């Protein structure tokens, strides 16, 4: 697929995307939609090869504010890293990177990539539905877990020797890095951790460690880089002023939840990610929304929102010590396995009392 401006089917792709998203909005109410025909949303419109992305003067030049372009980064990353993911298990859907495109798709179908200010129709059903607004807090945060790892992977030659990438800058907006050198200057720690992840992944094929320990090590490097990207969300903070208080609270809770899944080295495979992402709220929260009693949301959405807010509130009430205690007990391969099981129960089983998490954490000794 050629994403260049001269592509003869560009209009048809945009029309198809618009019709697809309008149909979703009409047919699924507010439940989250993250999969279409067994793949992430609009996966068929993404680039299967780096050469399918736009290029200028032999430099790959994609537009990360176009949904298919940014989703292409994930497709290309998964394809380039799959040869090193053997320890994750058999099958083509075990890579932890699958969580990224699925979460990105949820942001699209829930309306979180659209312009929240109302100044443009970017991302709205009445405008370009494949547009990612630079004013979107969610689109801003996602920039750090899409553009930065893609630039790092290119630098580490995962897409082949000599592949250079220069991202297109968003119109009328500044503050987004567009090249490896630029991002390394602005976010040195984040880029260093993505470099370390990709280097460690390639080196893992020669590691003498047992497969379960190799897997745990790779997941540790991945989540270290992922969290580093999310911690840059402070650069996006000003964009939250366009959202309701419940949405801002949910966004904070969503960021906080990553601390728990990261400490447990959660394997965000395709199947696991679908299971965890489907109950996320299928629309932007508005004033007056208070889980678990939001009338136009499903029981599962209400439960997930309630748990997210509870975890964040408890951590804030304890001065951040809930996250620190959780990290303290997630200190071995075996305790991390138990931690992943607990998170599944907490988020997916309405009968699992949240206070049980506190009891287990405080009753578990460190390593």
| Per-residue pLDDT tens over the stretch 253-277 | 999 999 999 999 999 999 999 999 9
Distance CA 325, CA 360 (A): 11
Is residue 88 within 8 A of residue 94, CB to CB? The reply is: yes
Secondary structure (3-state) at 276: helix
Q: How many helices and strands in the chain, by DSSP H and E?
A: 14, 4
pTM of full prediction above 0.85: yes
How high is the pLDDT of residue 356? 74
Q: Is pLDDT of 18 > 70?
A: no
Query: Once rounded to an integer, what is the mean pLDDT over residues 305-333?
Result: 88
How high is the pLDDT of residue 317? 87
Could you tell me which residue, 319 or 248, shows the higher pLDDT?
248
Q: Is pLDDT of 367 > 80?
A: no
Is residue 139 within 8 A of residue 113, CB to CB? The reply is: yes
| Per-residue pLDDT tens over the stretch 85-138 | 999 998 899 999 999 999 999 999 999 999 999 999 999 999 999 999 999 999
| Per-residue pLDDT tens over the stretch 196-252 | 999 999 999 888 888 888 999 999 999 999 999 999 989 999 999 999 999 999 999
| Per-residue pLDDT tens over the stretch 273-301 | 999 999 999 999 999 999 999 999 999 99
| Per-residue pLDDT tens over the stretch 31-49 | 678 999 999 999 999 999 9
| Per-residue pLDDT tens over the stretch 128-176 | 999 999 999 999 999 999 999 999 999 999 999 999 999 999 987 778 9
Q: Is pLDDT of 357 > 90?
A: no
How high is the pLDDT of residue 347? 81
Is residue 314 within 8 A of residue 322, CB to CB? The reply is: yes
Q: Is pLDDT of 14 > 60?
A: no
Backbone dihedral angles phi then psi of residue 266, each to the nearest 5 degrees: -60, 130
Q: Which residues of 27-39 are buried (b: 16+ CB within 10 A; e: fewer)?
A: eeebbbbbbeeee
């Amino acid at each position: 697929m050629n994403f260049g401006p001269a592509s003869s089917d560009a209009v048809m792709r945009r029309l198809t995307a618009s019709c697809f998203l309008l149909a979703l909005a009409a047919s699924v109410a507010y439940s989250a939609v993250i999969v279409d025909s067994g793949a992430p949303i609009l996966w068929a419109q993404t680039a299967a090869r780096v050469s399918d992305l736009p290029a200028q003067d032999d430099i790959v030049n994609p537009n990360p504010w176009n949904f298919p372009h940014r989703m292409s980064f994930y497709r290309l990353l998964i394809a380039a890293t799959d040869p090193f993911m053997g320890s994750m298990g058999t099958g083509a859907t075990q890579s932890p990177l699958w969580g990224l495109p699925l979460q990105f798709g949820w942001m699209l179908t829930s309306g979180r990539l659209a312009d929240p200010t109302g100044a443009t129709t970017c991302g709205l059903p009445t405008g370009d539905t494949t547009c990612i607004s630079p004013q979107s807090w969610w689109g801003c945060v996602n920039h750090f877990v899409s553009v930065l790892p893609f630039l790092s992977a290119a630098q580490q030659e995962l897409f082949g020797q000599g592949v250079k990438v220069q991202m297109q800058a968003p119109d009328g907006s500044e503050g987004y890095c567009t090249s490896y050198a630029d991002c390394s200057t602005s976010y040195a720690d984040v880029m260093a951790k993505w470099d370390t992840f990709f280097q460690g992944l390639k080196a893992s094929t020669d590691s003498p460690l047992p497969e379960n320990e190799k897997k745990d090590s790779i997941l540790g490097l991945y989540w270290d880089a992922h969290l580093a990207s999310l911690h840059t969300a402070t650069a996006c903070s000003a964009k939250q002023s366009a959202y309701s208080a419940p949405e801002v609270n949910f966004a904070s809770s969503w960021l906080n939840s990553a601390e728990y899944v990261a400490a447990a080295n959660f394997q965000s495979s395709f199947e696991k990610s679908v299971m965890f992402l489907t109950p996320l709220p299928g629309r932007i929260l508005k004033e007056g929304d208070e889980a678990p009693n939001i009338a136009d949301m499903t029981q599962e959405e209400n439960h997930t929102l309630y748990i997210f807010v509870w975890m964040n509130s408890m951590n804030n009430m304890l001065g951040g010590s809930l996250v620190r205690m959780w990290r303290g007990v997630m200190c071995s391969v075996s305790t991390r396995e138990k931690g992943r099981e607990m998170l599944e129960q907490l988020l997916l089983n309405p009968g699992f009392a949240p206070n049980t998490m506190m009891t287990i954490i405080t009753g578990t000794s460190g390593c």
